[in-house]
A and B are shown apart, each in its own frame.
Chain A
Amino acid sequence: MAGIGGADTTGKKWGWGVLNAVVVIYALFPVLWILSLSFKSSKTLADGNFIPREWSLENYQNIFSTSEFTRALINSIGIAIIATAIAVVFGTMAAYAIARLDFPGKNLLVGVSLLIAMFPQVSLVSPLFEIERSMGLFDTWPGLILPYITFALPLAIYTLSAFFREIPWELEKAAKMDGATPGQAFRRVIAPLAAPGVFTTAILVFIFCWNDFLFAISLTSTESSRTVPVALSFFTGSSQFEDPAGSIAAAAVVITIPIILFVLFFQRRIVAGLTSGAVKG
């Protein structure tokens, strides 16, 4: 098809340029708006301008001067990192077994994790609320980490087993031939090859935990374990006459930074991770 890529290439490029611009504007508009809001001074906050007329850092100074936000930030970071670490370790072990080993009950495990992936999370909120209250887990870090691990595991297992299937199988066999046990073959040969997949999975799981709102608002009640998305919804402004929009916007920008960094640096990995589980080549 010479006609397709031939004479009108520059025209095509312009066409793509316009399309790309549309997509970029679509994706960035709400983000830029909240960014702009966060830099508005309290006087110009309610002027409805897309670009601030008066730039100021007072919103950021406000949120970092209250424990309401800083404590929530610590909770968010701690809970997401711990849950991600545990989910990735458990997920790696299970995904390795699913991708490489033959044992009864494997399909059951795959089925159960698929069920959990589809499970309506709100259905777990009512029993967990009561169970965690009676076990003393309500409003604690573990009280949130447990459901996060549970709902992250299906994601981790799927993504990782898809990655593991692409690792050259012969290497493991060769290692076993040289006298390595299945366990050693896992640790010495497969694990280093699997590291990129594990890393990608960790990013996806972290994003999931970082994003959660339903569990966080239902299973916490005080600053001691409230995460940022929940703290945001409780912001009221320092006096009752003050619009909390500026503080909310500033806090929203702060918790968006890690996401932007992940996306900028690991775009390829995230795309590969999200699509690997969904389609079998």
Chain B
Amino acid sequence: MSHAVTEDAAPSAAPEPVAPKKKAALSEGKKAERRLGWLLCAPAAITMIAVTGWPILYSLLLSMQRFDLKFPNRTEWIWFDNYVTVLSSPYWWNAVWVTVLLTVVTVAVELVLGMSLALIMHRALVGRGIVRTTTLIPYGIVTVVAAFSWRFAWTPDTGYLAKALGNDPVLTEKIPALLVVGLAEIWKTTPFMALLLMAGLALVPDDLLKAAAMDGASGWQRFIRITVPIMKPAILVALLFRTLDAFRIFDNLFVLTAGSQGTSSVSMLTYNNLIKGLNLGIGSTMSVLIFIMVAIIAFVFIKLFGTAAPGSDDGGKR
């Protein structure tokens, strides 16, 4: 609705200044530039704020009400009771630990694997195109599809992995199930990590590495002393994106375990309370808590970034 209006306005701003404002154009140039800037950004800004701004406030409001769609008549303000309920629930804390564990373990493994993959893609003498093309497949494939592939692979009788490992129902026990979920996550997202790291590798000057090799530095020393420090901003960006993304883990868990046997992540638990349980109050409370946790993670990373944070350079005219 509002988009249509601003979309029309943007092009119409262009022809206008030509004729009537020609004289004032030079002194008005700055103003025209400002106006154009705002007009061009308006549709994007309005959409993003409309779809996130009000809902965020609304979820704060919902989180302070008893609001269960199964009992709509009993809706009332209960302030922080929902928070007390959630924060004293063992299910919630189990989900928090599962999420943190999955995030830390998968991101750490992805960093190591992703770095190796980035080095392979960066340095490969032969077949660079094939490697880059195939690694994009896990990145691009629909997460649910990949998750089903893993689920069937581990399903007793149906799956080749299950067959190879004696048809144990691995997905019905907490720890093995989490391992499988972690594996699926790592498979899917390592290529993305590798691509971000590869962009950082491209910034390392070859001359510097050669000079170090002349001075007798071993391959490992060159990597730790030269490559890693130069790529630090790229590593931090990759870690930030992947950490926040891993923290939202939902698709893989939904397909692989549906959160049974205490394998729920915070997203999974929120979904179960909200869509399955239709308890908007509790669901929103969890939403707010997840938001706070993500904000803390992002804050810590941005402190680490300093000026290397994406978007901190002002970009504009050079």
Contact = CB atoms under 8 A, between A and B. Distances in A.
Interface of A: 1, 12-13, 16-17, 19-20, 23-24, 26-28, 30-31, 33-34, 37, 45-50, 86, 89-91, 93-94, 96-107, 109-114, 116, 118-131, 146-147, 149-150, 153-154, 157-158, 161, 165, 169, 181-184, 186-187, 207, 210-211, 213-214, 217-218, 228-229, 232-233, 243, 245, 248-249, 252, 255-256, 259-260, 262-264, 267, 270-271, 274-281
Given A102-B33, A105-B38, A126-B284, A211 B143 contact: yes
B271 A214 contact: yes
A26 B139 CA distance: 13
A233 B126 contact: no
B137 A279 contact: no
B47 A90 contact: yes
Nearest to A259: B140
A34 B62 contact: no
A252 B287 contact: no
Given A97-B36, A98-B41, A30 B52 contact: no
B interface, by DSSP: helix, strand, loop or mixed? helix
In which size bucket is the chain B interface?
35 or more
A232 B144 contact: yes
B49 A112 contact: yes
Contacts of A228: 142
Contacts of B250: 122, 213-214
A interface, by DSSP: helix, strand, loop or mixed? helix
Given A1-B213, A90-B47, A182-B32, A33 B274 contact: no
B196 A232 contact: no
Interface stretch (B86-94, B102-110, B158-166): B158-166
A93 B41 contact: yes
**Which 5 pairs from chain A and chain B are nearest by CB?**
A183-B14, A103-B37, A275-B199, A127-B55, A48-B163
Contacts of A28: 134, 137
Nearest to A35: B149
Of A98, A127, A264, most buried by chain B (CB within 10 Å of CB) is A127
